[in-house]
């Protein structure tokens, strides 16, 4: 099977790391359990200037490397590959995060994977581009790859994946998607052990 695996809060604990950055650099104390929306500006009560700075700070190589792998994620991806599946690592991060993303994958033991950057949030142009960064594909181009399974956590993305009726969507359980109404092609999963067992 062809499988799409998201990075943030599927492969690694991004929200936990972002809470730490918000506290350290902006004095905003928010617990992971209380991140009930995907709108980080709202979650951390940041004004526009602070949000721009937060976005830059959270995409540095140093910040990205600090994200801890999700329990069982690295072993899970390897188990899927060992079982003969084709795994693509797909992210809504800007392509300008490539250096940090690549370094994180390598440090996690997933250095063989070349991440696909997708414009999941319609924010191409929000970030400076570095020469040599990989191209960013559209959601339509991504769909054309005809994945059998896609694993994601973002409600904004899940709302779009509801239309991918040919693809089984595994919704990685997180506080910000708890109230998301699952479409018929979706199953909520709570761990990587669950993912491997389902596939
Ligand atoms: Mg994600």
* H/E run at residue 88: strand 86-91
Separation of CA 25 and ligand 1 centre (Å): 23
Separation of CA 162 and ligand 1 centre (Å): 16
**pLDDT, average across residues 121-128:** 69
Of 29, 23, 174, the C-alpha closest to 157 is: 174
pLDDT of res. 43: 95
Measured over the CA atoms of residue 141, residue 147, residue 153 and residue 156, the dihedral's sign is positive
**pLDDT, average across residues 1-27:** 97
pLDDT of res. 72: 98
| DSSP 8-class letter at 45 | T
Separation of CA 172 and ligand 1 centre (Å): 9
Separation of CA 27 and ligand 1 centre (Å): 24
pLDDT of res. 133: 86
Task: Give this prediction's pTM.
Answer: 0.94
Separation of CA 152 and ligand 1 centre (Å): 6
pLDDT of res. 131: 72
Other beta carbons within 10 angstroms of residue 61's beta carbon come to 15
Separation of CA 92 and ligand 1 centre (Å): 8
Of 116, 100, 104, the C-alpha closest to 74 is: 104
Separation of CA 81 and ligand 1 centre (Å): 21
**Distance between CA atoms of residues 195 and 197, nearest Å:** 5
Separation of CA 14 and ligand 1 centre (Å): 8
Separation of CA 125 and ligand 1 centre (Å): 20
| DSSP 8-class letter at 165 | T
**Distance between CA atoms of residues 161 and 164, nearest Å:** 5
- What are the tens digits of pLDDT across the range 52-76? 999 999 999 999 999 999 999 999 9
Separation of CA 154 and ligand 1 centre (Å): 5
Q: Work out the percent of the chain whose per-residue pLDDT is above 70.
A: 97
**Distance between CA atoms of residues 106 and 128, nearest Å:** 24
Separation of CA 73 and ligand 1 centre (Å): 13
- What are the tens digits of pLDDT across the range 147-166? 999 999 999 999 999 999 99
Average pLDDT of the chain to the nearest whole number? 95
Is the confidence at residue 85, as pLDDT, over 70? yes
Cα angle, residue 93 at apex, residues 92 and 99 outer, rounded to 5°: 140
Q: Which pairing describes strands 116-118 and 86-91: parallel, antiparallel, or unpaired? A: parallel
Of 93, 105, 94, the C-alpha closest to 65 is: 105
E-assigned strand segments in 126-189: 136-137, 149-152, 168-172, 186-189
pLDDT of res. 130: 72
**pLDDT, average across residues 94-99:** 92
Separation of CA 15 and ligand 1 centre (Å): 9
Set out the domains of the chain in order of their start, with CATH numbers.
2-13+69-198 (3.40.50.1000), 15-65 (no CATH)
Is the confidence at residue 128, as pLDDT, over 70? no
CA 87 to chain centre: 15
């Amino acid at each position: 099977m062809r499988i799409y695996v998201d990075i943030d809060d599927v492969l690694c604990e991004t929200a936990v790391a972002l809470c730490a950055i918000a506290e350290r650099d902006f004095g905003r104390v928010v617990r992971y359990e209380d991140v009930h929306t995907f709108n980080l500006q709202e979650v951390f009560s940041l004004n526009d200037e602070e949000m721009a700075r937060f976005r830059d700070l959270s995409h540095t190589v140093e910040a990205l490397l600090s994200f801890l792998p999700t329990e069982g994620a690295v072993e899970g991806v390897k188990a899927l590959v060992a079982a003969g599946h084709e795994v693509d690592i797909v992210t809504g991060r800007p392509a300008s995060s490539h250096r940090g993303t690549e370094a994180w994958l390598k440090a996690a033991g997933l250095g063989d994977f070349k991440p696909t950057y997708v414009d999941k949030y319609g924010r191409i142009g929000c970030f400076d581009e570095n020469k040599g960064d990989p191209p960013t594909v559209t959601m339509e181009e991504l769909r054309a790859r005809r994945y059998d399974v896609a694993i994601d956590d973002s409600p904004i993305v899940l709302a779009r994946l509801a239309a991918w009726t040919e693809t089984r969507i595994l919704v990685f359980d997180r506080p910000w998607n708890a109230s998301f109404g699952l479409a018929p092609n979706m199953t909520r999963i709570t761990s990587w052990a669950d993912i491997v067992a389902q596939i």
